[in-house]
């Protein structure tokens, strides 16, 4: 009876010792619950389908003073803006998470001194922060016009406005046909239609440029 109790106590003690040893040997994982993750935010297919330019188009604008400028597309670029951040503040964890935001850019160039460059961009917008916050309700639409002395129009807006035909409250007559659109970039009055692109805009000298079909 004494021997049986002795062996029982011995086995119990050995078991406890093994558990303590295993517990001491188990390494703490500083990354537990903080895996590396990648978040991709791409321009919606709906908005991509409404881009009126291919990137290799030839665009012609005529000013109200009779000047004509021809801009040639140099192609379409799909760019990814990437932000990264440690998955946890614990310095012993090396996990990093990434946020990728898509931007589509098309650049058109010409030789006119008054207007020699037009950059059109469509991007998945975000609010800078740690981490960045995606603007989920729409994609950002941007325009930039340049002359021989630099950029004279640079603005951005949301395609949610440009895509809504109900907002097409302004119009321009070209070759006897009336084309409707919406004024974007308040300071420069860019008249935009997602089927035809830029229909009309006003430059820094208050000169009006109209698309030529």
Cis peptide preceding 131, ω within 30 of 0? yes
> What does pLDDT average to over the chain?
84
Model confidence at 10, pLDDT cuts 50, 70, 90, reads very low
* Closest of 202, 107, 194, 189 to residue 159, by C-alpha: 194
Model confidence at 19, pLDDT cuts 50, 70, 90, reads low
Distance CA 171, CA 183 (A): 9
Distance CA 20, CA 8 (A): 18
3-class secondary structure, 123: strand
Model confidence at 142, pLDDT cuts 50, 70, 90, reads confident
Distance CA 87, CA 40 (A): 16
Q: Could you tell me which residues are beta bridge partners of residue 173?
A: 178
Contacts of 178 (CB under 8 A, 6+ apart): 171, 172
| Pair of tokens at residue 58 | 């030839």
Distance CA 2, CA 161 (A): 89
Q: What is the pTM of this model?
A: 0.78
Provide the pLDDT for residue 185: 80
Provide the pLDDT for residue 194: 87
Model confidence at 205, pLDDT cuts 50, 70, 90, reads confident
pLDDT tens digits, residue range 144-155?
888 766 777 788
Distance CA 96, CA 85 (A): 6
pLDDT tens digits, residue range 48-88?
888 899 999 999 999 999 999 999 999 999 999 999 999 99
Which helix or strand (DSSP H or E) is residue 68 part of?
strand 68-86
> Residues 118, 123, 127, CA angle at the centre, nearest 5°?
120
Q: Are strands 133-134 and 126-127 parallel, antiparallel or unpaired?
A: antiparallel
- By CB atoms closer than 10 A (0-12, 13-18, 19+), residue 101 is buried
Share of the chain above pLDDT 70, in %: 84
């Amino acid at each position: 009876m004494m021997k049986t109790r002795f062996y029982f106590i011995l086995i119990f003690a050995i078991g406890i010792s093994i558990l303590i040893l295993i517990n001491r040997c188990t390494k703490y994982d500083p990354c537990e619950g903080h895996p590396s993750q990648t978040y991709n935010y791409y321009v919606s297919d709906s908005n991509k389908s409404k881009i009126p330019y291919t990137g290799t188009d030839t665009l012609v604008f005529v000013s109200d003073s009779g000047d004509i400028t021809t801009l040639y597309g140099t192609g379409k670029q799909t760019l990814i803006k990437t932000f990264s951040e440690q998955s946890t503040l614990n310095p012993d964890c090396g996990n990093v998470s990434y946020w990728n935001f898509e931007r589509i850019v098309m650049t058109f160039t010409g030789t006119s001194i008054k207007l020699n460059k037009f950059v059109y961009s469509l991007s998945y917008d975000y609010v800078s922060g740690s981490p960045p916050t995606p603007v989920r309700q729409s994609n950002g639409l941007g325009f930039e016009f340049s002359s021989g002395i630099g950029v004279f129009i640079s603005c951005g807006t949301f395609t949610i406005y440009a895509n809504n035909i109900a907002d097409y409250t302004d119009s321009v007559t070209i070759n006897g046909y009336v084309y409707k659109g919406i004024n974007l970039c308040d300071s420069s009055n860019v008249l935009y239609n997602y089927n035809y692109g830029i229909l009309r805009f006003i430059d820094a000298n208050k000169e009006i440029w109209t698309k030529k079909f």
